[in-house]
Structures are given as structure tokens and as C-alpha cells.
Structure 1
Amino acid sequence: MDALDGRLIRLLAEEPRIGVLECSRRLQVARGTVQARLDRLQAKGVISGFGPEVDPAAIGYPVTAFATLEISQGQGADVRAHLARVPEVLELHTITGIGDMLVRIVARSNADLQRVIDRVVGFDGIVRSSTAIVLENPVPYRILPLVDQAAAE
């Protein structure tokens, strides 16, 4: 990754609906250069999508929580399949330390969160869970500082 890749990613992140031609104009490089860079960044998995970012709170799910799950030995694949069927599960990570999986979930209210937790843990492969409700998100998911650093190296 170089400085031009970093500038291209930043431009696309700031203006996701911008076209290749406008990118080339703003970056002052040929359209073919922009297209080739985009193709390479996608092929390498650096750029994984161009879809809209949706705020769960804006569509009626203002409560976010993280659940740490302990699972029975050998049940990982079944638990992952179970969690993939729960719409309120936004992310699932396998982890080290206390617990085996970390799940980000959303709910319509604190009362609804209990329903979601019951659905998440209502599976024989899950032995124990611990849930933490998010109060504030002062540093939301971000990638551009990391892109800037990688492009500068």
C-alpha cells in the first residue's frame, strides 16, 4: 500500500458514491490508474465492499451489548451456525482468555435485550454467558487512521 492507495481509500470512505472518473480527477491521476488500483485493492481484500453503512439505532435497535460466551468442546461450528441465524447478532469473534466467543448484539430496548440474550444462549452448545451493555461509543469503528499509517510506511 502506498500514499496514492491511502488517498484513494480515504476519498472513497469520505464520499462512497463518488465514481472512478471523479476519483481520477480529484487525485489527479488517470482513470485507468484509479481503476487498476481499485481492482488490486479489492483482489487483495483491502477493500471488501462498497455497501451503505447502516446505523442499527436509526432502524430501531438503539441498545448494543457484548456477550462473552463459553461453549462446550467441539461445539464451535454448531454455535457459529446458531448465532448466524440470530438477526440481532452483528458480529462474532472467537477469542482467547475468559470465554470462547465475543458477540456484538443489538436490541430494540433493554427489555428486548433479554429476549435476544435468551435466544443467543438458548442453545445446548453454550455453557455460560456474560453480557455488558454499551453505554457510549466515543470512538466508533474506524479504519482511516490505520490506512493513513499503512500508506505512510
Structure 2
Amino acid sequence: MDKFDRKILAALHENARLSYAELARRVNLSAPAVADRIEKLERGGVIRGYHAQVDLARIGYPIQCLIELTVKHLEYFKVLEEMQDTREIVECYSITGTSGLMLKVAVATMGDLQALIARLMQFGDTKTSIVIDMPVRPRVPGLEDDDSGSAGGR
């Protein structure tokens, strides 16, 4: 992956709806060259999809939390299946340490959060932290604007 691929990825990460012509203008390549590079990045699994960034609060889920769930070892895979069917869970990470799972959840009310925590407690201990702000937005390391080609190109 070279500096052009990184620039394309950075632009798509910022706005996945950019046209090939606009991407070409931003990275100083032709639109067909950008199209070829994007196709290669998709085939190689670097680009795995294109997604809308949804404001959860504006669609009725103003309370977002991180919940550490300490899972009993023998029930781990059963718990993972249950997490798939729990609609309030928007992300689930298997983590190191004693907890086992880190859940990002979104709920409409504190009552909904209380009910969710009560359901989760059947699988183990929980530790909940309410998200009050996201001072650093999701980003991809190594995609900063660097014309030297050194960032992420090693």
C-alpha cells in the first residue's frame, strides 16, 4: 500500500460517498486509476464495506454505555450467542483481562439500561460506564495526510 492508497482510504473514511472523480481530484490521480485501486483494496479485504455514521441520540437512543461483562468461562460461547440477539448491544469486543467482554450499548432510558444490566447479570458481573462525550472520533491510524510516504507504509 502506497501513499495514494492511504490518501484514498483517508478520503473514504471521512466520506464514503465521494465519487471516483472527486477522489481522483483529491489524490491527484485519474478516476480510472482510483477505481482500480479501490477495487484492489476491496478484493484484498482492506475495504470491508461502506457505512452510514448514525447519530444514536437522534434516533431515540441518547444513553450510550460501555459495559464490561465478566463471563463465567464455561458459558462464554453461550453468552456470545445471546449477545448476538440483544438489540441494545451495538458493538461487542472480546478483551483480555478478567472481564472477557466489552459491550457498547445504546438505550432510550435509564430504565432500559437498568433492565439490560439485570439481563446481563445472569451471565456474570457487570461494570458500567456511561459515555458522556467522544472527544476523539473513530479514525484509522496511518492515514494522516503525509506526502513523504512514511506513515503506515513500512
Unaligned runs of 5+ in 2: 145-150
Q: CA RMSD in A?
A: 1.9
Shift, 1:53, TM fit: 1.0
Which residue matches 1:70? Answer: 70
Q: Is the CA contact 1:24–1:30 (under 8 Å) kept in the aligned structure 2? A: yes
CA change 1:146–1:55 in 2 (3 A) is: farther
Residue-by-residue CA offset, 1:8-56 (whole Å, 9 max, x unaligned) = 1122233322222332244332333212211121223222211211111
Relative to the length of structure 1, the TM-score reads 0.84
Q: Which amino acid aligns with 1:137?
A: M
Q: Does 1:147 align with 2:143?
A: yes
Q: Is the CA contact 1:88–1:106 (under 8 Å) kept in the aligned structure 2? A: yes
Q: Does 1:134 align with 2:136?
A: no
Unaligned runs of 5+ in 1: none
Q: Is the CA contact 2:8–2:27 (under 8 Å) kept in the aligned structure 1? A: yes
Which has the larger helix fraction? 1
Q: Does 1:18 align with 2:18?
A: yes
Q: Is the CA contact 2:117–2:126 (under 8 Å) kept in the aligned structure 1? A: no
Provide the aligned length of Structure 1 versus Structure 2: 148
Relative to the length of structure 2, the TM-score reads 0.84
Identity level (%):
28
Q: Which amino acid aligns with 1:5?
A: D
